[in-house]
Amino acid sequence: MMTSSSSPHLSASVAGALPLASPVPAAAVIACLPAGHAAEAFRELRRRCRVAPAWSVCVEQDEEIDGAIADAAMDEVRRASAQSSSASAEAADREAMAVEPLLIATRSSAADAARLVSAAQTKYATHCAAAARIGAIPVAWGTDAYPPLLGTIADPPPLLWVRGDVQAMHAVCIAIVGSRSASEYGLAVAESLASPLAGTGLVIVSGLARGVDSAAHRGAITSGRTIAVFGSGLDICYPREHTDLAEAIVCNHGCLVSELPIGTPPRPHHFPRRNRIISGLSRAVIVIEASERSGSLQTARFALEQGREVMAVPGSILSDRNRGSHALLKDGACLVEQATDVIEELKLSVTLDTAPTPPSDAPDLVLDSMSNGEVYDFDALIRMTGLSSAALLERLTTHELTGSIARTAGAGFLRVAKAVVR
């Protein structure tokens, strides 16, 4: 696994000599530098900052980690960050000025460094004003508001723009990603996993894309919180038809997150960078219906590099849209069929209500549509029953638990004659 680093405050030894009228975090100024200068200065800043190792120890162990141990490690990271903040209050007032020696250390002249920092501070102020107009705030690396787990990745964003409840990023997060052109089965699985997981207090992370992403967000807001990571500025919802969903996420105590400033349009090269944030925020990434070229496989690769758990939902072997997911399973990804699989694999101290709903005495649309011994795929059952994908999946799961329906190897469903329940 890759070596992790944490996100402490800037140490006093790095701070410059002149205080600013308004404290600005060093990482916030760095984020507003030209790209080449920003990358070098941020690497130098992180090199000079002290490391809080508690979470790093957890993510780099090969053996399974008890959820209580991981939670305790996260608490230790937060305590270390808070102590660093208190001890370095005076230094924090000079953080922005500290960027100049960082630039000089990376081969800029003193005059160029001063000019670059001044321009970056002006740009940062402009971005903050634009963000305030839509209710978003900046969250800089090295501050208490920055998500501790994201700070452990090899290339964390120096600055995040957040709209909604910032504390959602500090909870235990699970990412659910997958195909933009998902089948009804894939959409139903995403919702049926996200809803119970969010109901335990876990936060579901995804990318607000069409298909699996939006289904995961919708499932999560029915019972808890979710985070949507943008590949654009927070003022530009992409795709546009998910504007109402984005608002619902904020209203339900979740948040919208982007490393791109307000006004930045979605561009193809933004989304791979966005994907590393999705995995970086999360303890695990669940992949649903990924083809061999799916962007969700890229998120899974980031997760592996970051020491996160990778999980996948099996699908039909007859569909190309599942080849990527099945490749992950062959490579050792945890197989997920229901929310309890996720909880057990991560050893989390949460409780799921897994009791099946007893079948009523009324005619059952699912069983009445199926002949004994015949295999049906999910989409066919949608057409035959007229049920929504989420309602059908719930009923199929109930009948699987009672033994009246069995799931076949090719992601089909078989009615079992000996266990007909009316």
**328 shares its domain with 181:** yes
The answer to whether the beta carbons of residues 314 and 329 sit under 8 Å apart is yes
Enumerate residues 6+ apart whose C-beta is below 8 A from 106: 37, 40, 41, 43, 44
- Asked whether the predicted pLDDT for residue 221 surpasses 90, the reply is yes
- Let me know if residue 122 belongs to a domain: yes
Query: How far is the C-alpha of 258 from the C-alpha of 44, rounded, in Å?
Result: 23
Tell me, yes or no, whether 285 and 385 share the same domain: no
Radius of gyration of the chain (CA): 24
Determine the pLDDT at residue 350: 86
Residue 254 has pLDDT above 70, yes or no: yes
Condensed to tens digits (0 to 9), the pLDDT of residues 171-202 reads 999 999 999 989 888 998 999 999 999 999 99
Question: What does the pLDDT read at residue 407?
Answer: 77
Number of domains in the chain: 3
Q: Are residues 288 and 411 in the same domain?
A: no
How far apart are the C-alpha atoms of 106 and 40, rounded to whole Å? Answer: 6
Q: What's the whole-number mean pLDDT along residues 216-245?
A: 96
Strand 203-206 relative to strand 225-229, pairing: parallel
Measure the CA–CA gap between 303 and 279, rounded to whole angstroms. 5
- Residue 113 falls inside a structural domain: yes
pLDDT beyond 60 at 378: yes
Residue 170 lies in a domain: yes
3-state secondary structure of 407: strand
Are 212 and 182 within 8 A, CB to CB?
yes
CB-based contact 172:202 (threshold 8 Å): yes
What is the rounded CA–CA span in Å between residue 49 and residue 147?
17
Percentage of the chain surpassing pLDDT 90?
A: 54
At residue 353, the pLDDT reads 64
Residue 392: CATH number of its domain: 1.10.10
Q: Which of 316, 346, 376 is the last residue of a domain?
A: 346
| DSSP code string of 178-212 | E-TT--HHHHHHHHHHHHHHHHTT-EEEE---TTH
| Domain membership of residue 374 as a residue range | 365-419
Confidence of residue 399 (pLDDT cuts 50, 70, 90): confident
Angle separating helix axes 243-251 and 212-221, nearest 10 degrees: 30
Residue 361's pLDDT is 46
Mean pLDDT in residue range 84-98: 45
302 and 403 housed in the same domain = no
Residue 293 belongs to domain with CATH number: 3.40.50.450
Confidence of residue 238 (pLDDT cuts 50, 70, 90): very high
402 and 271 within one domain: no
pLDDT (tens digit per residue) in 62-79: 333 344 444 544 454 445
Kindly state whether residues 265 and 340 are assigned to the same domain.
yes
Does one domain contain both 301 and 182?
yes
pLDDT score at 102? 86
Please say if the pLDDT value at position 251 is more than 70. yes
Banded model confidence at residue 395, pLDDT cuts 50, 70, 90: confident
234 shares a domain with 171: yes
Higher-scoring residue by pLDDT: 87, 166:
166
Sign of the alpha-carbon dihedral angle for 380, 385, 389, 394: negative
Say if residues 409 and 420 touch (Cβ distance below 8 Å). Answer: no
Q: Note if the bond before 239 is cis, omega within 30 degrees.
A: yes
333 and 249, same structural domain? Answer: yes
Whether residue 299 sits in one domain with residue 180: yes
* Same domain? 205 vs 311: yes
Query: What confidence category does residue 285 fall into, taking pLDDT thresholds of 50, 70 and 90?
Result: very high
Which of 287-291, 305-309, 417-421 has the weakest average pLDDT? 417-421
Q: Is residue 317 located within the same domain as residue 412?
A: no
| pLDDT band at residue 6 under the 50/70/90 scheme | very low
Report yes or no on 11 lying in a domain: no
CB-based burial, 366-386: b 16+ in 10 Å, e otherwise:
bbebbeeeebbbbeebbeebe
Is 366 in a helix, a strand, or coil? helix
Given a cut of 50, whether residue 13 has pLDDT beyond it is no
Given a contact cutoff of 8 angstroms between Cβ atoms, the answer to whether 339 and 193 are in contact is: yes
Q: Which two tokens stand for residue 278?
A: 């999705």
